[in-house]
Amino acid sequence: MRSRSAIPNPKSQTVRPDLRGCSLSGLETLVVAAGEPRYRGRQLFKWIHNRGASSFEEMTDLPKAFRVRAAEVFGIESLVVAETRLSSDGTIKYRMDTGRGDFVESVYMPSARRDTLCVSTQVGCAMGCAFCLTGAMRLGRDLSAGEIVDQVRTVAVDLRARLHHGGEGPRPPHRRYVSNVVFMGMGEPLKNFEATRDAVAVLTHPDALGFSTRHVTVSTCGLVPEILRFGREVTAKLAVSLNAADDETRSRLMPINKKYPLADLLSALKRFPLKPGWRITFEYVLLAGVNDSVTDARRLVKILSGIPSKVNLIVFNAHPAADFKAPTPEAVAAFHKVLTDKNLSAFVRENRGGDVAAACGQLGRVRDEG
């Protein structure tokens, strides 16, 4: 007869599986391998993600023997908020300790229409974009799917405490405080593909965090093979950090363009499978005297022809690792007008959190400032 608590001996394992990032099927595989019935995996999945359990002791409908042994061999580790910085516009920048000797940053941006959380997928970044502070850090390591997902839970718990809505009961507050999740923080999400894919699956699963796929967006600097793979394996919105409409300028700003030039990138995007009514978002950081001219805007209109698209214009946010300058408001307006006059959906993104280094391109630190 199979033992109901046949969890493997912890001495035989050197690393405890982190259950935070496990898909439902992954958890079911783990428990079946441990000699438990498959439905234990769904119970764990719901407790961790839908009911916000941070320990096995809280899972009161699981047998006590199972909970004790599971705590010895499985992990439900949590990020720890090491520092927060509150902007005058309500944006909150979180610096989180991973417990592995490094830190990641996330940004919460509340507004009247949505409450967005920008999450990180790597410690640092290897892409080296000239205008981005994270790129100056270089790459430390990939985050696990659990570490990506846990940024949402950690921020939501902090927000509940800030707003004095703690109350009783195990249900996590993510749906109340975070409506949209964007993978636009530290790192290149598609360079950490499997963890990004698995994190999106947990975020959007109805038995987990339950976010609508329309409210989860993953950004990339333009990794062409991974973009096509993303279209096959992930259901979430795609954003592309473009920042130039010609190869010479884009290669100067974004080294990835030398490997995957605009022709290859645009060809992949034209083949990208979009759900009805969905568009690809193009992020375009405006840099004075570099890519902000009317001529640049006309080039942008031309290369985006035939791609269902939305353009987010981002005025450069200054930081110590780059010498670029923000364009004048007049230049921004002129650029924007060229796009809208050609019926391209374009918006000038509101600069959020700039006074606490939480704006686009400002995440990370060249050195530890304590």
Whether 326 contacts 355, CB under 8 Å: no
SS3 (DSSP) at 39: helix
Q: Which residues of the chain have pLDDT under 70?
A: 1-15, 164-176, 365-370
Q: Which CATH number is associated with domain 80-356?
A: 3.20.20.70
80-356 shares the fold of 10-73? no
Give the residue from 200, 257, 267 showing the smallest Cα distance to 230. Answer: 200
Residue 132 annotated among the catalytic residues of the structure: no
pLDDT computed for residue 335 by the predictor: 98
**Residue 26 φ/ψ, nearest 5 degrees:** -65, -40
Contact assessment for residue 145 and residue 195, using Cβ atoms and an 8 Å cutoff: yes
Sorted by where each begins, the domain ranges of the chain are 10-73, 80-356
pLDDT reported for residue 6? 42
- In one letter, which amino acid is 63? P
Q: Is 360 a catalytic residue?
A: yes
What was the pLDDT predicted at 290?
Answer: 98
Query: What is the fold, at CATH topology level, of the domain defined by 10-73?
Result: DNA polymerase; domain 1 (1.10.150)
**For residue 262, which amino acid is it?**
L
Q: Of 314, 311, 312, whose CA–CA distance to 324 is shortest?
A: 314
| Helices 262-271, 224-233: crossing angle, 10 deg rounding | 10
Q: Which of 22, 28, 36, 105 is catalytic?
A: 105
Q: How far apart are CA 368 and CA 267, in angstroms?
A: 41
User: Looking at residue 292, what is its pLDDT?
Assistant: 98
Q: For 117-147, what is each residue's pLDDT tens digit?
A: 999 999 999 999 999 998 888 899 999 999 9
Strands (E), the chain: 80-86, 92-97, 103-110, 115-118, 122-124, 139-142, 180-183, 216-220, 237-241, 280-286, 309-315, 345-348
Distance between CA atoms of residues 65 and 260, nearest Å: 54
